[in-house]
Structure 1
């Protein structure tokens, strides 16, 4: 190993040098006076779910994304299920989804009685491969639902063209896609609708579970508002119009006012925090550059309509992934394997006909991909420690 890539000295782990995979504690401490005031307002109002603060959040997200409708629900998975239902997907239908994604993408399709058809992804973006999606279309195919993962959008112009040519509904699992844009269109709005997840680790995270459906389709929005409240109402509004009138079987998927209040506060800092994530990603890029060929850092996959990068996760691909993860854990650094097996290997999904397409890119990523700590509270010194430990691991092995 040359002097330029000499193994750095890494102090032993201690309470002060440990680096969790995610932590938002510093931000909460910093902002506590304002957050406490918001919490007190909600407590004093006596309205704790689906109230005026939730409506304020919906309006703010709609304005930020350009969506005609933003429908708040209890979590991102509910948002997917409700979106599928609202778009008319049900028993007998097939929905093409990528094989490399969180389980909820496929399970949401099963929840509405439809069949997920799993196809391979592209290197770099880890998004649905349009060619593989087209090969998987059958007479039962009703929709395609790409996923925007980690730091960039799928190639939506190509996928929209594919859906249009075959008369398919285009939906988006844009759970990680807040502030991702392509061609002036926000993630989730290229087709009939998309979703956002506000799980605490997300780029815009709540105090707990919360989610949102985005759409420009009035009928999908109206159906979503009914479905989130057990199917109640003539238009699903929060007001008394249509109360205790149920047109269809829906869900109990209300957004808590406390979560909405926290998200409104976080929304004020989102641009600043997204910029901080980009700074940290650039720092990792620079520090890990000596390991090029052994450790692949995130890169923008080519797309017909390029998108911006928003680093929800900083994902590397590396040799001896599990050994590296164990090494980092032993030294106080949290990591996450995204995802340790493709959906085609999940016990619930593997027997399904839609799991029979070969997924070599997804299968390779499942053995090599590792998420490193990436959040606004992460300090430069913590990022440096993570990179130094990775350099030391591969340096000692050389």
Structure 2
């Protein structure tokens, strides 16, 4: 039985009529740039996230970049973040000329270790980028208290956490700004690239809107150097169709988690840990085992998709060599050796999960 990491076709067929009709209508009206679907989605997303402003941009990477620009992060500044994430988190720091400072992670949740964040603060530190990794919220009340004490900005990297919340408060609503990705495989994904910046600040929202549109507030008048980073109208059609179902999708991801736990019981595979901080949305399903490679080999032999997130931590990447001389992060480096991801998507059935578990048990 071939089992992919994520199956986007079932979701499309469920929403096909709505998406296809929305696409046709958008093409008939020919309002392709910051059109009515983008504007409507921004309002709907802001309402869902519980923030004043949601600004559609070209990608999750752009969301991080424009968020840092709007805060005035610049060369000479330091931004603390995790080494256990996709490279976009740190790329955005480099885009504005600042220095990424990587600190170690919590061995259970894989999220940034707040005690290590505090140790890394210097007089050059301007901001922290916590990543809600794999959909597990960082302890934002604790981080916000720490950052308020040291007068530091927070940009939440919510690329993997749309719909995750802490006591009903959504990720992306705690920091100065939140950055979301709508890459197709995300919990809320479009059919190409797309992203969003969330904020409760009128001033920061105005700057993000200006940066995303060539630095212009009024057409052909430019007061700063901006970029072309606007959410596409056709992608907004897809996102508007999916947004009302995001809680259902995430509930089904939690169902998948419970089934993995049931069928992997009795093995020494460490399934994703939850520390009681908020509601996990399981964007990826990453487990730990010392014989990871044996498990991956067995799954691939049965045509079952699997992956390693992430095989090389950011502080070991060649591109950050100058920033990370003699940096040792033992927890991250240990997790990297044992971490592997299993298929997870809302429509994944119990028979497939049972099969995946049986292959793992046989391999071990």
3-state SS in 2 of match to 1:348: helix
Rounded Cα–Cα distance in structure 1 between residues aligned with 2:293 and 2:94:
31
Q: Displacement, 1:276?
A: 1.1
Bigger drift between 135-144 and 63-72 goes to 135-144
Post-superposition CA distance 1:3-37 (Å, at most 9, x none): xxxxxxxxxxxxxx100111111221232222211
Rounded Cα–Cα distance in structure 2 between residues aligned with 1:230 and 1:356:
40
The question of 1:311 aligning with 2:287 is answered no
| TM-score, scaled to structure 2 | 0.97
| Residue in structure 2 matching 1:156, options 132, 140, 152 | 140
The residue aligned with 2:61 is 77
The residue aligned with 2:41 is 57
The question of 1:95 aligning with 2:79 is answered yes
Rounded Cα–Cα distance in structure 1 between residues aligned with 2:321 and 2:293:
24
3-state SS in 1 of match to 2:221: coil
Query: Are the equivalent residues in 1 in contact too, given 2:263–2:353 (CA < 8 A)?
Result: no
The question of 1:182 aligning with 2:166 is answered yes
| Residue in structure 1 matching 2:308, options 325, 337, 342 | 337
Post-superposition CA distance 1:125-157 (Å, at most 9, x none): 211111111111111111111110113111112
Rounded Cα–Cα distance in structure 2 between residues aligned with 1:35 and 1:191:
33
Q: Displacement, 1:351?
A: 2.4
Aligned length: 364
The residue aligned with 1:358 is 328
Bigger drift between 265-274 and 114-123 goes to 265-274
The residue aligned with 2:194 is 210
Rg (Cα) greater in structure: 1
Structure 1, unmatched stretches of 5+, are 1-16, 234-241
Q: Displacement, 1:356?
A: 4.3
The question of 1:20 aligning with 2:4 is answered yes
Rounded Cα–Cα distance in structure 2 between residues aligned with 1:388 and 1:246:
60
Rounded Cα–Cα distance in structure 2 between residues aligned with 1:172 and 1:109:
13
Correspondence list, 1:235-314, <5 A: 242-291=218-267, 294-301=268-275, 306-314=277-285
Rounded Cα–Cα distance in structure 1 between residues aligned with 2:178 and 2:15:
31
The residue aligned with 2:204 is 220
Bigger drift between 211-220 and 27-36 goes to 27-36
Query: Are the equivalent residues in 2 in contact too, given 1:24–1:377 (CA < 8 A)?
Result: no
Q: Displacement, 1:55?
A: 0.6
The residue aligned with 1:323 is 294
Change (3 A) 1:48 1:280: same
3-state SS in 1 of match to 2:188: coil
Query: Are the equivalent residues in 2 in contact too, given 1:334–1:372 (CA < 8 A)?
Result: yes
Query: Are the equivalent residues in 1 in contact too, given 2:165–2:171 (CA < 8 A)?
Result: yes
Rounded Cα–Cα distance in structure 2 between residues aligned with 1:127 and 1:391:
28
The residue aligned with 1:12 is none
